[in-house]
Structure 1
Amino acid sequence: MLSLLLPSLLKKLHFDRRLVHLALAALPFTASAQAPSQKPVEGGTLTYAVSQEPTSLVSFLDTKTDNRNVSAKVTEGLLRYDAKFTPQPLLATEWQVSADGLKYSFKLRPGVKFHDGHDLTSEDVRYSVLTQKKQGPRGRITLANVERVDTPDPLTAVIVLSKPAPFLLKSLSSAELPIVPAHRYSDGEPLGNSNITAPVGTGPFVFEQWVRGSHLVLRKNPNYWRKGYPHLDRVIVKFVRDPAAISTAVETGEVDVAQGVGLADLDRLAANPKLKIDDTYDGFLNNASFLEFNLENPVLANVKVRHAIAQAIDRNFIRNTIYYKRVEVVNSPVPRVLADYYDDSTFRYPFDVAAANRLLDEAGQPKQANGQRFSLRVSYIPGAEFKRTTDYLRSALGRVGIKVEVVDGDLPTFLKRVYTTRDFDININGLGRLFDPTVGVQRIYWGDGVRNPLIWINGAHYDNPQVDELFRQAAVEVDAGKRAAQFKQVQQIVGRELPVLPLVSVPLIQVYSARVHNLNNSIDLMAGDLADTWVEPRK
């Protein structure tokens, strides 16, 4: 498991705001245990099967995991990170943080060109940062304290803050805050721009083709600034919704890498000497499954009803049966790996059907003659395990007299239902808790998401000014102890009020051919750029 936010690193980020980093060349980072003992083979095609088709090929204004994983191969960020989250050069070769923490100065790598031949300049950084601050689901939080971006020369960008942002230096990866070509967006609405679906970037691979519902093709960037990379000629990403079909495809060699295999197939695949399994914990995203209550439903607005539903659910069953014991039960929205911030003291809702029934009676929801109390519409984010969780939820809630109607659909339908039309009562969602609570956890509870709806922000429509204020304080607090206390107080409040019930962690497992080398070169694993990846020829 990757370790994040180590105390020493926290101390450094909080207190040493002088020279943070100075380097002139990016060093490759290999997240997997595989050592580069062989000389890479140049050329070839890597075929990758994934379970979900992206909605955008740039994680510019939609940081959905599937979007991130493609985007980072084409569009780069200012920095990359090693396994301990130490920043390394990418588009930026040098950076400094002022003593007061209000100015982040970046020197850009000279000679970098976008795939259409335009030079990368500080204006591209300025446009990318300010647009994501305004419209990005996470950028609105991550970049909330950004006042402006100065561009004193074409290769210098200075991000100026109104208040400190102690987490900012961890948020500048290719997948999280990509630097897009400003000239491609002009003055129009960025969400409708053609660069979203046919991206131009600076990365090791150039977008070639997207066949909706089938696959997309990336080809080698012959003018990539990192000389001698990438090794591959092409990357083909196939969209395969059926987990069993994904398992079969990697097992037969139809694809080289697979994400989204059936968890029930993993033991069999692990026994195949021609395959390898990477189940490294993604310490950047910290993905988890959550049950979100729509607090606009008057029944669910009663906290006793929410507590009852929590106790009607056996999360150990979800872990053991639905995820085949390959996940952990989650007892707080803050990841346990962020140990200084973690507090699960009020998220104690053990599985207890009798207690759930008693709480529902106390909440004024008695069973009727037919044995039912009320009905709920349950939606879920597309995915095999999320669907199975929803099916279990229907059975579990039925035992306490709650009738469940499952409403399903593809991802665009899901996003519209949860964040626009609000046509659900309970939602099973998958969310990244990320590398800092301000970036990943705040959005789950942020009251601004009620007044200014945006995808991936506050599906419950929870609105607690005290929680918002604690998050605001923590976002600018440079004292590690005070910041930890603020985050712990947030957890204690939302654990009692329970607008969202954490369920289990969500694994990101890759199964790949033993012919594939150096698959991951980023702390966020599949959101690496594949520049170091190479494939042995078939024998």
Structure 2
Amino acid sequence: MKRTMKSVGSKTRIRGSLMSMVIAAAAVVAGFTSTSAIAQTAGGTLSGIVQPEPPILVSALNSQAPTQYIAGKIYQGLLTYSADLKPQPELAKSWKISPDGLTYTFELQSGVKWHDGKPFTSADVVFSIDKLLREVHVRTRAVINKYMASIRAVNDTTVEIKLKEPFPPFISMFETGTMPMMPKHLYEGTDYRNNPANQKPIGTGPFMFKEWKKGAYIKLAKNPNYWKKGKPYLDELVFYVIPDSASRAVAFEKGDVQVLRGGDVDNVDVKRLRALPNVEYTTKGWEMFAPMASMLLNERKPPFNNVKVRQAVMHALNRKLIVDNIFFGMGKPAVSPFASSTLFFDKNIPQFEFSLKKAREEIKASGVDVGQYPIKILSTSYGANWDRLDEYVKQMLEPLGFKVSIESADAGTWAARVGNWDFDMTITYTYQYGDPALGVERLYVARNIVKGTPFANVQGYNNPQADELWTKAGVTMDSAERQKLYSEVQRILVNDVANANLFEIEFPTLYRKNVKNLVTSAIGLNESFDNVSIEKN
């Protein structure tokens, strides 16, 4: 995977991809559908785990990993992406980009219907992008508001988007988690966040919402009118809600579930489960996301409004120990806010070495009596590894004079509190989405200090110099110049501890050998699963 990502990150990629995608070639379509030429078995139920239980199944409204996992089977984007991050057809069968990089034209698939039988047309695309996502999807909204000049339906099957200025990463935005297509006839003129359709989602995907028994399971049923003829192969998907990690491991061992995502079981169990008979293992399918674990420090109030205190926190944490001992080697210490496998990563950024002595020196230099400001670590609900990480942070900060406690929260509560800046410190992970302008910038620019989402600039970081560099880098067509700008951004963010970047996550997927075509793209298990089948024994 790393070799693939590095080849994608070559300095010619941006300019080359812009010109090469002037039209979506038929060869791309052929490459994308090649797996379907192999005879596959129809029927069966695929069982997995959703951990933690998501607050909602609509990825337009919630970008947490569990939501994206399930929503990717219900909703679809105009495009998906191969492992080398090249766009592939989905609801758009072809596309072209004008030579000046300002006009994107999409030709839609024919015969696509929503799960309620209504036709999917260009009007849905325009509504989704220009209305619903512009209002509720924080990552997409930020790009649309900044770069999109207009969007229009040329006819029922053609959509034209015009940008204010060239923005090379734009073509990477059309996967289902970033730009899901939503039904205009159900959402237009409504309160998007409280629409009744949120409880029984309607998409164009291969699987339809069937049942959600809170605390037990979520079931999706085969879409009998799916627009890809002969698909999906599976009759049903079941995602079990199993709060205890050990019980999730047992469920896989017994065959009650056939698929485990990264994080479904504790990393300590992965080696044992991987060695079971008829089990496959892969770390592919994360190329688009390159997940980064970071500690968010609320910079609006003491003690973390002082950069010296934040720097002390970085010196106090042994990130190699975190990876090796808490996450059992599944990852690598972070060097930068940019994952090392992604575009424009700079390996030469100065680092905070692990040193309690230097941590104490930084606190002394800050002039802050950190003990006067008790802090709470708002815990995520991702599992025991993350709980141990919270405990480790507490253990390392208390000898420096911090008064630290840990408070638990389920996924919905965590998202609401972090999105509304109601936290002192919390540890989470975010996706990078193929380009720093899409997945990293959103976490640091001042214009993205907006309430209502946990995946914006929730820590309140504000640096006009960094904002200016982000803006220049996002629209620069020359890859070498983008590298210079992004290298400077990385140096500033690391020095400021804009977020306390901890480690790059390696997520394994384990599954039974009779499950075919499970991981086939850069978005991995967030894919639609329309080509997944279960081989009969």
Once residues 275 and 13 of structure 1 are traced to their aligned partners in structure 2, the CA distance between those partners, rounded to angstroms, is 37
Letter of the 1:127 partner, please give it: F
Alignment-derived partner of residue 250 in structure 1: 252
SS at match of 1:94: strand
Residue 239 of structure 1 deviates from its aligned partner by: 1.4
Structure 2 spans left out of the alignment, 5+ residues: none
Once residues 403 and 264 of structure 1 are traced to their aligned partners in structure 2, the CA distance between those partners, rounded to angstroms, is 30
SS at match of 1:191: helix
SS at match of 2:412: helix
Letter of the 1:310 partner, please give it: M
Once residues 479 and 354 of structure 1 are traced to their aligned partners in structure 2, the CA distance between those partners, rounded to angstroms, is 43
Residue 248 of structure 1 deviates from its aligned partner by: 0.7
Q: 8 Å contact 1:22–1:93 — kept in the other structure?
A: no
Q: 8 Å contact 1:30–1:521 — kept in the other structure?
A: no
SS at match of 1:21: coil
Letter of the 2:357 partner, please give it: A
TM superposition score normalised by structure 2:
0.93
Q: 8 Å contact 2:283–2:509 — kept in the other structure?
A: yes
SS at match of 1:328: strand
Residue 451 of structure 1 deviates from its aligned partner by: 5.2
With 497-506 and 315-324 compared, the bigger mean Cα shift is at 497-506
Alignment-derived partner of residue 152 in structure 2: 150
Q: What is the CA deviation profile of residues 9-36 of structure 1, one whole-angstrom value per residue up to 9, with x for unaligned ones?
A: 323134x2772314399457599xxx88
Alignment-derived partner of residue 141 in structure 2: 140
The one of 295, 299, 302 aligned to 1:295 = 299
Alignment-derived partner of residue 165 in structure 2: 163
With 347-356 and 447-456 compared, the bigger mean Cα shift is at 447-456
Letter of the 1:215 partner, please give it: Y
SS at match of 1:167: helix
Residue 460 of structure 1 deviates from its aligned partner by: 1.0
With 278-287 and 21-30 compared, the bigger mean Cα shift is at 21-30
Once residues 291 and 500 of structure 2 are traced to their aligned partners in structure 1, the CA distance between those partners, rounded to angstroms, is 14
Residue 311 of structure 1 deviates from its aligned partner by: 0.5
Once residues 514 and 37 of structure 1 are traced to their aligned partners in structure 2, the CA distance between those partners, rounded to angstroms, is 20
Residue 158 of structure 1 deviates from its aligned partner by: 0.5
Q: Does 1:454 align with 2:458?
A: no
Taking a change above 3 Å as real, the CA distance of residues 270 and 286 of structure 1, as seen in their structure-2 partners, is same
Alignment-derived partner of residue 204 in structure 1: 206
Residue 54 of structure 1 deviates from its aligned partner by: 2.0
Letter of the 1:166 partner, please give it: P
Residue 358 of structure 1 deviates from its aligned partner by: 1.7
Taking a change above 3 Å as real, the CA distance of residues 6 and 83 of structure 1, as seen in their structure-2 partners, is farther
Alignment-derived partner of residue 440 in structure 2: 441
Q: Does 1:333 align with 2:334?
A: no
Once residues 22 and 155 of structure 2 are traced to their aligned partners in structure 1, the CA distance between those partners, rounded to angstroms, is 20
Residue identity (%): 29
Q: 8 Å contact 2:285–2:520 — kept in the other structure?
A: no
State how 1:172-321 maps to structure 2 within 5 Å: 172-259=174-261, 260-280=264-284, 282-321=286-325
Alignment-derived partner of residue 380 in structure 1: 379
SS at match of 2:331: coil
Letter of the 1:324 partner, please give it: F
Q: 8 Å contact 1:59–1:71 — kept in the other structure?
A: yes
Query: Which has the larger share of helix?
Result: 2
Residue 315 of structure 1 deviates from its aligned partner by: 0.7
Once residues 11 and 185 of structure 2 are traced to their aligned partners in structure 1, the CA distance between those partners, rounded to angstroms, is 41
Once residues 13 and 356 of structure 1 are traced to their aligned partners in structure 2, the CA distance between those partners, rounded to angstroms, is 45
Once residues 21 and 415 of structure 2 are traced to their aligned partners in structure 1, the CA distance between those partners, rounded to angstroms, is 42
Residue 72 of structure 1 deviates from its aligned partner by: 1.4
Q: 8 Å contact 1:287–1:434 — kept in the other structure?
A: no
State how 1:32-71 maps to structure 2 within 5 Å: 39-71=39-71
Q: What is the CA deviation profile of residues 189-248 of structure 1, one whole-angstrom value per residue up to 9, with x for unaligned ones?
A: 211122323111111111111122211111111111111111111111111222211111
Structure 1 spans left out of the alignment, 5+ residues: none
Count of matched residue pairs: 528
Aligned alpha-carbon RMSD (Å): 2.2
Residue 113 of structure 1 deviates from its aligned partner by: 1.1
Q: What is the CA deviation profile of residues 371-425 of structure 1, one whole-angstrom value per residue up to 9, with x for unaligned ones?
A: x6753221132212222111100101122222211122112221222221x3322
State how 1:336-375 maps to structure 2 within 5 Å: 336-339=340-343, 341-365=344-368, 375=374
Residue 344 of structure 1 deviates from its aligned partner by: 4.8
Q: 8 Å contact 1:30–1:520 — kept in the other structure?
A: no
SS at match of 2:83: coil
After TM superposition, the runs of 4+ consecutive aligned structure 1 residues lying more than 6 A away are 35-38
Once residues 355 and 373 of structure 2 are traced to their aligned partners in structure 1, the CA distance between those partners, rounded to angstroms, is 19
Letter of the 1:142 partner, please give it: V
Q: What is the CA deviation profile of residues 327-361 of structure 1, one whole-angstrom value per residue up to 9, with x for unaligned ones?
A: 1111111121225x112544511110111112212
Taking a change above 3 Å as real, the CA distance of residues 75 and 37 of structure 1, as seen in their structure-2 partners, is closer
Q: 8 Å contact 2:309–2:362 — kept in the other structure?
A: yes
Alignment-derived partner of residue 23 in structure 1: 26
Once residues 153 and 30 of structure 1 are traced to their aligned partners in structure 2, the CA distance between those partners, rounded to angstroms, is 27
Q: 8 Å contact 1:332–1:347 — kept in the other structure?
A: no
Once residues 437 and 322 of structure 2 are traced to their aligned partners in structure 1, the CA distance between those partners, rounded to angstroms, is 28
Residue 291 of structure 1 deviates from its aligned partner by: 1.0
With 223-232 and 344-353 compared, the bigger mean Cα shift is at 344-353
SS at match of 1:7: coil
Q: What is the CA deviation profile of residues 29-52 of structure 1, one whole-angstrom value per residue up to 9, with x for unaligned ones?
A: 599xxx889732110111111221
Once residues 537 and 64 of structure 1 are traced to their aligned partners in structure 2, the CA distance between those partners, rounded to angstroms, is 34
Once residues 505 and 527 of structure 2 are traced to their aligned partners in structure 1, the CA distance between those partners, rounded to angstroms, is 19
Q: 8 Å contact 1:250–1:511 — kept in the other structure?
A: no
Letter of the 2:237 partner, please give it: V
Taking a change above 3 Å as real, the CA distance of residues 176 and 325 of structure 1, as seen in their structure-2 partners, is same
Letter of the 1:258 partner, please give it: L
Taking a change above 3 Å as real, the CA distance of residues 25 and 335 of structure 1, as seen in their structure-2 partners, is closer
Residue 179 of structure 1 deviates from its aligned partner by: 1.0
Once residues 451 and 242 of structure 1 are traced to their aligned partners in structure 2, the CA distance between those partners, rounded to angstroms, is 34
SS at match of 1:40: coil
TM superposition score normalised by structure 1:
0.93
Residue 114 of structure 1 deviates from its aligned partner by: 1.2
Q: 8 Å contact 2:292–2:430 — kept in the other structure?
A: yes
Residue 530 of structure 1 deviates from its aligned partner by: 1.0
Residue 461 of structure 1 deviates from its aligned partner by: 0.5
Q: 8 Å contact 2:419–2:451 — kept in the other structure?
A: no
Q: What is the CA deviation profile of residues 37-85 of structure 1, one whole-angstrom value per residue up to 9, with x for unaligned ones?
A: 9732110111111221222222113222211111111111111221111
Once residues 21 and 45 of structure 2 are traced to their aligned partners in structure 1, the CA distance between those partners, rounded to angstroms, is 44
Q: 8 Å contact 1:277–1:511 — kept in the other structure?
A: yes
SS at match of 2:417: helix
